Amino acid sequence: MKTKHIALAAALLLGATAFKPQNGYKISGNIRGVENGVIYLTPQIGDQEIKDSTKITNGKFTFSGTTPEVMMYRIQIPKIREQKYFLLENKEISFDGHKDSLFNAKISGSPETDVYSGFYNGPWKIITAKAGKIYTALDSATQKGKITLTPEQRKPFDDKFKDLDVLNQKAIKDYLLAHPGSIAVAAIVEERLINYNYPQQAAEMYALFKPEVKNSYIGKAIKASLDLLNKTAPGKVAPDFTMNDANGKPLKLSQLRGKYVLIDFWASWCVPCRKENPNVVAAYQKYHDQGFEILGVSLDSKKESWLKAIKDDGLTWKHVSELKGWTNTAATAYGVKSVPASFLLDKEGKVIAKDLRGEELTKKLSEIFKN
């Protein structure tokens, strides 16, 4: 789910295509591997697609226009999967890249993009390297998912991921403190904390933003996301919704009142979801007869893939989906921007906890059902 912030859409469309003020931007680009063709410049405005296009001639292209403020844009070429994300400013900017590795394209002339890239080329590389080692070890231990680990066997991996979360948050905070007035750091907070369901940590970072960053487009988007996520904070009654199950019959969340319910947002294409499923299966088998229910909400768009994953992973609980991918209405209402995401509800439908995984879910359920 991508939160919809479209207030600047008209201004951006005008700025990109209708006029070229003196104080606007000019992007001079060089694309190796493409002699002639079309290239697109697109702002990241929720679900809005406002594309500006220009021709590539002899491997060269130029965009000019204006952006009302520093915002995240992407450059893409038709039929090329990779894209280049950067922060567009009203400056003279140069772009140099190869069509087969747009992600690594070099952008010069944008200080905010320099700050943004500095994080991903520095602290983030350390984090991803550590994460890669943990995933490799986990794949080895499970023989790439063929073996289900016991909670005791899984615990060392869960502990390592927790340590990695702490490192991730520290890296972002340290970078923010080094660049407190940068829009780029707000973009990093949105990408790494808001989009991956760390609302408490995101709120702490947001409080450190300078006023001009809070009042920026990205700053306002973060605030809107935090307000939305607050609606499912522990103690709040979870938003009710109705959605069709695998047989096309409507199922309402509030029908499950009287049981402890785990709303599990997932998808067949989500690798971390599929890796987590054995833990959820074990919890369901242990506590279902004691009053524990699971409602799987799939962000799939293809019914066949959804049903196959349910069967292959042995997910014997209740499942619903609109088969509309990220535009799923429940995901929107719950502020879900990445999966897996989960919400544990009490018998009255109030949120107890969010995103409990592995041993954390088992531990919480053991506390609930110990009596």
Total residue count of the chain as it appears in this document: 371
Encoding tokens for residue 180?
């407190």
Query: Tokens representing 321?
Result: 């989906």
| Position 7, amino acid | A
Q: What share of the chain is helix, strand, coil (3-state, %, to 5)?
A: 45, 25, 30
pLDDT given for residue 359 in this prediction: 84
CA distance 272 to 46: 24
- Overall pTM > 0.85: no
Question: pLDDT-derived band of residue 147, with 50, 70 and 90 as boundaries?
Answer: confident
Helix residue ranges, H only, the chain: 9-17, 111-121, 123-141, 151-178, 183-189, 199-206, 211-214, 217-230, 271-287, 303-313, 329-333, 359-368
pLDDT of amino acid 42: 92
Q: Which of 1-10, 189-198, 315-324 has the lowest mean pLDDT?
A: 1-10
Beta-bridge partners for 245: 320
pLDDT of residue 61: 97
Please provide the average confidence, as pLDDT, over all residues in the chain: 90
With bands split at pLDDT 50, 70 and 90, how would you rate the model's confidence at 260?
very high
Kindly list the structural domains of the chain, giving each domain's residue range(s) and its CATH number in brackets, ordered by start.
9-109 (2.60.40.10), 118-230 (no CATH), 242-368 (3.40.30.10)
> Which residues neighbour 118 within 8 Å (Cβ) at sequence distance 6 or greater?
175
pLDDT band at 47 (very low <50, low <70, confident <90, very high): low
Query: For residues 211 and 214, what is the distance between their CA atoms, to the nearest angstrom?
Result: 5
Residue 4 has pLDDT above 70, yes or no: no
Nearest CA to 88 out of 107, 62, 104, 61 is that of 107
Section 82-93 average pLDDT: 95
Pairwise CA distance, residues 36 & 61, whole Å: 9
User: pLDDT at residue 5 above 70?
Assistant: no
pLDDT given for residue 3 in this prediction: 36
